[in-house]
Chain A
Amino acid sequence: MRFDPLSLLIRAGLALALPAVVVAAPAQRAEAAPVVAVEGVSWDADRQAYVVKASGELAPRVQRLESPARLVIDLPNAKLVPAYQALEGAPNSGISRVRVGQFQANTTRVVLDLVRSIQVGVEAGGHEVVITPPRSAGTDAAAPASASVVTTPTIRAIRHRNGDFAILMSQRAAYWSHVRPGNGQPVRYLLVFPNTKLAPGAQGTVPIGVHGVHRVTATQAGSEARVEFELSKAPTFEVQAGPQGWRFLADRAPLNASAISAPRPVAKPTPRMALATPLPRPSRKPAERLTTRPRTPKVAAPDAGRPAAARPEAAAWTGAPDAPLALRKIDGHWQMLLTADDRFRFTTTPIGDDRLRVDIAGGKVSLPRDSVYIDNGLIARVRVNSQTGDTTRLTIDLDQPVRHTARLLGNQRSLLLGFHRVGKERITLDPGHGGSDHGTTGQKGTREKDVTLAIATRLARMMEAGGMSVQMTRMKDLEILLRPRVEMANRADSDVFVSIHANSFGNQHGVNGIETYYFSDDSYPLAKSIHKSLLRNLGRPDRGVRKNNFYVVHHTKMPAALIEIGYLSNAEEEALLSSPAYQERAAQAIYTGIREFMAARKAQH
């Protein structure tokens, strides 16, 4: 049997790739980001926001802590100039106080003390972080406080090691690609990152000369950052998501010297299957083919589709036998593998609902003292509290209460921790449009944004009554772009994402009916279940369950469906959709569809 590293990687999937990249993350983080000085926080009346100013770029990490409720924004690689600072919360903002302090040697912490549940915007750009409370506080006490982070991505560096080119970014941004075929010239593979900065130190051309890559050139072209790989022969390569950006994996075969001096004309290369690592959040969605447009690949969880009992745990982690920390998600719960340099004993101690302490004696787990951020909606990060002699004390910060399990694997050097979310299923509801974006409008003036919010609000009430935990991307008439909607769902590690829209088709007023969209295969059962329930309960024409790359179903990392509940361009359906009774029926039908999907999924597991 031929040994093909690429196909092996694809077959092994993330079970192999994940541990390797997790371990790489702390080291790269430490190398990539210099420490910046934080001047403090102030209230900006023009922007109606708190602004944290610094001498350089900040990369905020947001987590929610309970008892008392507070939103914590950590600024890694930052040192606060004043010793401590506190501001009163803006009136009616839902924030009682804003505090800033130096949490760890290189981490500044901003804490927002919350008096009620609100949604806070956290945006990093330039040398500041802008924290925007809602203009008027929300009233839904059941909704959890949450935050979305929007920032301009920056390529900090491009590192090369053994054919593995790591494009290190402040956050993983989407790209589009060009392949420029040879015609006797070297093949060039160009990755273009729109609206992305290239750090000055990352710009320029670096000759490589091995692994089929002549040179790599990184340039800033207006708002686009471009990374071009000049390839010496018919290339076989992959682009994978990496822990801090993207990885370009070149052909591992030694470069033929003749190929450098006289490159052969080659056919248009076909990038092979792109696999993405699951950090920061592995997805249950399948791997995608690399195409020439931006995307944030979604990937299959390790061992997805295999019965739990058939998964050999030892085999699942063999990709990086010495990795100190690895993570994966299986059947809705997370597993963390901590590996030491020697056999060890351990104890685990929950501290409140938001921390788990792990004491390891006998072996050394080589995490850096700085925090390793996980940010998967359940686990915020892993910190080394102390490391003395043969004892390591780790603290795992949690975003929500968990039930944990812990056991040593057979080699006595690896500790397998399981994190099972306690309590309710989490649903993100996305009422389409809002604010100045009215969506489509019916002939009698019914606005899509009002219909979607009315149905979503009714649906949220039903779900909460049914024991589900619901997060809405908007609870009032607010304009929210697509990316924050997706981030909200991903950050909360929701079980299901459902977007509600109303449709229109130009002047074809006779067109009516219900369509339900999905993108990834694992979203199809959800879309089908909701669609069937809608048809059964509303009796409208069936326009099918359709696959399309609508943004919110494409980029969410959980089963996701977008419902087109009816046509506002059709007079009959406009009348129905503006009727509270019909809205209630529609909400009930969607609720039933989601419940049926969840029941079927539970039965499978």
Chain B
Amino acid sequence: MSSSRSIWPLVAVGALIGAGALATAVGVFGPASEPARPLTLYYADAQGMVLVPVTASLAAPRDPAAWAQAVFERLRKPTDAKLAPPVPADAKLIETAWAAPLWTLGVQLAKPPGSTDERLLVGALVRTFTAGWPGAREVRLKLLDAQGRPLASQHLDLSAPLTVADVANTLDTGPTGSGVKSTLWWPSKDGGTLVPVQIALTGGTGIPPRDAFERLVAGPPAEAGSFLTAVAPQGLQAGWASLDDGVARIDLAGALPDGEPASRFIEATVLTLTEFPDVRAVQFLHGGRPIDRAVGPFKLSGPVARPAGAAAPEATSGRSATP
């Protein structure tokens, strides 16, 4: 009698362990998650001009609907205070369907969007969902009003699936004409972000990356609006040196300060030049000699490549990028 009584605790523990293992195996504790992996989320800059890619780590469920909800939640709450949510705080994701290569998303909005609201919402969802889910290329978006009725867009054509190509994320300074069209990056005046601007490079030296750099340091075009500012910090001069073996060399003169303006300059230059397929990195020199120091996150002693997590080159359209 006493021996049988002493066995019970062991039996109970064994039963608990077995039940736990079984429960885990059948997913009682919820769907199995993949380990956290990088995901590019698109938020609005504070002025609502463009979408800014932010690389985050997300332990997302394998189930498409749960993954979509998790991503949607993240888009409502940017971690960087300088950024704005492209998804309104009161928006709900009430329909999701995944059938390669198409996501279908039904988004309920508490009030009708203005065009900036809609442009950023649609752009952020299309870009984030196509970049983040394997095999996704298109997003069909249904907007619904507070009562769940279809909300006919008065801005974008949402009747058909959208691809990244349909959701422009650059300012555009007019038709290409006969020039090469490329994306140049200037800082916003509030210092919050770098803004890609599509610009036609006409005339010039015949070396498009050089033309792009010289256009960059000349300052933002009037057509891009009044909220962009010059790229180079005061007192710093920058000139084109060479392009060899995929490395563009930029020669600096004057004071290269520490701090955000200088790191913005480095980043803008690298983003602008690596838009061209034949530029993989940028080497910064000072008076023709290598710079043995870091500016912000950038070590200038060697060539600086396009930052990981930066937006992929937008579109260098028109003719071939380099002669």
User: Are B156 and A432 within 8 A (Cβ)?
Assistant: no
Q: Is the CB of A341 closer than 8 A to any CB of chain B?
A: no
Q: How far is the CB of A554 from chain B (nearest CB, A)?
A: 7
| Bound complex: CA A515 to CA B176 (Å) | 20
Contact of B117 among A294, A432, A505, A542 (CB under 8 A): A505
Q: How far is the CB of B201 from chain A (nearest CB, A)?
A: 16
User: Are B112 and A550 within 8 A (Cβ)?
Assistant: no
Would you list 7 pairs from A and B whose C-beta atoms are within 8 A, ordered by A residue? A293-B157, A432-B154, A440-B111, A441-B111, A511-B46, A541-B227, A550-B156
A interface with B by C-beta (< 8 Å): 174, 176, 178, 194-195, 291-294, 432-433, 437-441, 448, 481-482, 501-508, 511, 513, 515, 517, 521, 524, 528, 541-551, 554-555, 562, 564, 567-569
User: Are B116 and A437 within 8 A (Cβ)?
Assistant: no
User: Are B114 and A440 within 8 A (Cβ)?
Assistant: yes
Q: How far is the CB of B266 from chain A (nearest CB, A)?
A: 25
User: Are A505 and B48 within 8 A (Cβ)?
Assistant: yes
Q: Is the CB of B119 closer than 8 A to any CB of chain A?
A: yes
Given contacts A504-B116, A547-B198, could you give 6 more A-B pairs where the C-beta distance is less than 8 Å? A292-B138, A293-B160, A293-B163, A437-B154, A501-B115, A521-B174
User: Are B157 and A554 within 8 A (Cβ)?
Assistant: yes
User: Are B168 and A438 within 8 A (Cβ)?
Assistant: no
Q: Which A residues lie within 8 Å of B248 (CB)?
A: none
Q: Is the CB of B262 closer than 8 A to any CB of chain A?
A: no
| Bound complex: CA A541 to CA B47 (Å) | 12
The 7 nearest A-B residue pairs measured at CB:
A504-B114, A544-B225, A521-B175, A440-B114, A547-B172, A542-B226, A505-B48
Residue of A nearest to B101 (CB): A178
| Bound complex: CA A507 to CA B175 (Å) | 33
Question: Given contacts A174-B160, A547-B172, is CB(A564)–CB(B115) below 8 Å?
Answer: yes
Q: Is the CB of B187 closer than 8 A to any CB of chain A?
A: no
User: Are A439 and B85 within 8 A (Cβ)?
Assistant: no
User: Are B49 and A293 within 8 A (Cβ)?
Assistant: no
User: Are B172 and A291 within 8 A (Cβ)?
Assistant: no
Residue of A nearest to B49 (CB): A543
Q: Which B residues lie within 8 Å of A513 (CB)?
A: 225-227
Q: Which B residues lie within 8 Å of A542 (CB)?
A: 222, 225-227
Question: Given contacts A441-B111, A545-B174, is CB(A292)–CB(B161) below 8 Å?
Answer: yes
Q: Which A residues lie within 8 Å of B174 (CB)?
A: 521, 524, 528, 545
List residues 142-177 of chain B with CB under 8 A from any CB of chain A: 152-157, 159-163, 165-166, 168, 171-176
Contact of A502 among B46, B89, B114, B226 (CB under 8 A): B114
User: Are B88 and A524 within 8 A (Cβ)?
Assistant: no
Q: Which A residues lie within 8 Å of B154 (CB)?
A: 432-433, 437, 439, 482, 501
User: Are B226 and A541 within 8 A (Cβ)?
Assistant: yes
Q: Which A residues lie within 8 Å of B172 (CB)?
A: 545-547
User: Are B119 and A548 within 8 A (Cβ)?
Assistant: yes
User: Are B152 and A505 within 8 A (Cβ)?
Assistant: no
Q: How far is the CB of A457 from chain B (nearest CB, A)?
A: 18
Q: Is the CB of B230 closer than 8 A to any CB of chain A?
A: no
Residue of A nearest to B158 (CB): A551
Question: Given contacts A174-B160, A528-B223, A545-B223, is CB(A551)–CB(B117) below 8 Å?
Answer: no
Q: Is the CB of B84 closer than 8 A to any CB of chain A?
A: yes
B65-86 Cβ-contact flags toward A at 8 Å (1 or 0)? 0000000000000000000110
User: Are A293 and B161 within 8 A (Cβ)?
Assistant: yes
Residue of A nearest to B102 (CB): A178
| Bound complex: CA A542 to CA B227 (Å) | 8
Q: How far is the CB of B149 from chain A (nearest CB, A)?
A: 10
Q: Which B residues lie within 8 Å of A541 (CB)?
A: 225-227
| Bound complex: CA A178 to CA B101 (Å) | 9
User: Are A551 and B153 within 8 A (Cβ)?
Assistant: yes
Q: Is the CB of B58 closer than 8 A to any CB of chain A?
A: no
User: Are B160 and A551 within 8 A (Cβ)?
Assistant: no
Q: How far is the CB of B292 from chain A (nearest CB, A)?
A: 40
User: Are B165 and A448 within 8 A (Cβ)?
Assistant: no
Q: How far is the CB of B81 from chain A (nearest CB, A)?
A: 13
User: Are A550 and B49 within 8 A (Cβ)?
Assistant: no
Residue of B nearest to A439 (CB): B112
List residues 191-216 of chain B with CB under 8 A from any CB of chain A: 198
Q: Which A residues lie within 8 Å of B120 (CB)?
A: 505
User: Are B225 and A503 within 8 A (Cβ)?
Assistant: no
| Bound complex: CA A555 to CA B157 (Å) | 10
Contact of A504 among B113, B138, B165, B176 (CB under 8 A): B113
Q: Which A residues lie within 8 Å of B116 (CB)?
A: 503-505, 511, 515, 564, 567
Q: How far is the CB of A316 from chain B (nearest CB, A)?
A: 23
Q: How far is the CB of A504 from chain B (nearest CB, A)?
A: 3
